[in-house]
Amino acid sequence: MINLYNAQIESLSIHRVGNKSRNETIFLSAEPFQLNDEITPLIKEYFLKPFREKEENYYQFFHETDLEFNELFNLTNKIFDQPEDIHEVSKKINTLLFEQSSHPHIKSGEVYVVYFENMLLDNEKVPAIGIFKSELKQDFLQFQEKGSTLEMIIQQGINIQKLDKGALIFNKNREEGYKILSVDSNKYDTKYWLENFLGVDVLADNNFYTKKYLKFCQNFAKDVVLPAEDKKEEVMFMNRSVDYFAKNDDFEETAFMNSVIDNPDLIPEFKNYKTDKGQKYKIEDLTSFPIANTAVTAARKTIKNTINLDTHIQIRLDFINPESAEKFVEKGWDEEKQMYYYLVYFNKEEKS
């Protein structure tokens, strides 16, 4: 879990990278940028806001032969070993990005290399390196007085409310390739940023496993529980699944199945589904792991818990108290109307 509010910018280098296929060049600043009290809070918010709003999915540096062959990993080591040399190393980082900027879709832009102190990662203060890129320019209006007339001038600049690309490299787990967060607002060239430049792979930690297993359960509910049972049971299966993850510190697959699968006939179906689909979610051999609460909280927001009826009525089942839906919602068939119905029990209506 990260906390970025107390982070301090110790150094900022700004360069520009062009597109090689369009014969554009690079510009390397001779000196670091001198920050002041006016621009520091604005630029800090520009860099870090996307990471506070985004779910924490960590990466780590990777190379198919050996980690030491990952160029950005080696440059990162140099910065953390000697932070005072970051500006000179930032030029090499910009050049490395330029070498990967040859596809026609890749846009030119400014590259910012930042050294942060006081990043809070898993309740530990660590330094971090930020690499950011601004690509998309927007038109804006400037006004100036000319004699007795106020003239309008159209200029271009970046929108500091939206970062195009960014990576935070935390000085944590160096031997494994560090812990890294990445954002990319322009999805058309993700391979260029994540794979070609950063050279990262997904960090398979507890957060990753919790997220992937819940996603696997969500698709099992849709592909197997819904056809075999009904919409209520699909929702209830996910209701119980989220409840299990929320109430336990550790996941154990046998206990999970016994807790959330009401119909015993679906247990072998669950095992078969995992055999078929487990590799897709990278959980094929996973039977136990510590549960990450942040991933459970994020999953609650994405899992649908509403039954939509063709009579334009919705029934919303509460993930916080799944036992309520079990006890107080019944499904039946009305012979006279030739329609299904839901019977809902309650003591009183609550004020909204």
Q: Of 219, 234, 193, 218, which is closest to residue 106 (Cα–Cα)? A: 193
Whose tokens are 């990450």? That residue is 292
Query: How many whole angstroms separate alpha carbon 121 and alpha carbon 117?
Result: 11
Quick one: tokens of 312? 């334009």
Q: pLDDT-based confidence at 266, cuts 50/70/90?
A: very high
**Which pTM value belongs to this model?**
0.77
Q: Of 106, 126, 132, which is closest to residue 45 (Cα–Cα)? A: 132
Contact 80, 87 (CB under 8 A): no
Query: How many whole angstroms separate alpha carbon 337 and alpha carbon 177?
Result: 64
Per-domain residue ranges of the chain: 2-134+162-203, 207-344
Find the angle CA(67)-CA(96)-CA(91) to the nearest 5 degrees.
115
Between 103 and 249, the more confident residue is: 249
pLDDT of residue 169: 98
Spell out where 193-313 has E strands: 200-202, 250-252, 288-290, 306-308
Q: What is the CA radius of gyration of the chain?
A: 26
H or E element: which one contains 113? strand 109-121
Q: Which neighbouring-strand residues pair with 131?
A: 113, 167
Query: How many whole angstroms separate alpha carbon 352 and alpha carbon 343?
Result: 22
Lowest model confidence (mean pLDDT) among 81-90, 164-173, 176-185, 299-308? 299-308
pLDDT of residue 299: 81
Q: pLDDT-based confidence at 180, cuts 50/70/90?
A: very high
Mean pLDDT over the full length of the chain: 90
Q: How far is CA 103 from CA 16, 110, 336, in A?
A: 17, 17, 66
Query: How many whole angstroms separate alpha carbon 87 and alpha carbon 13?
Result: 6
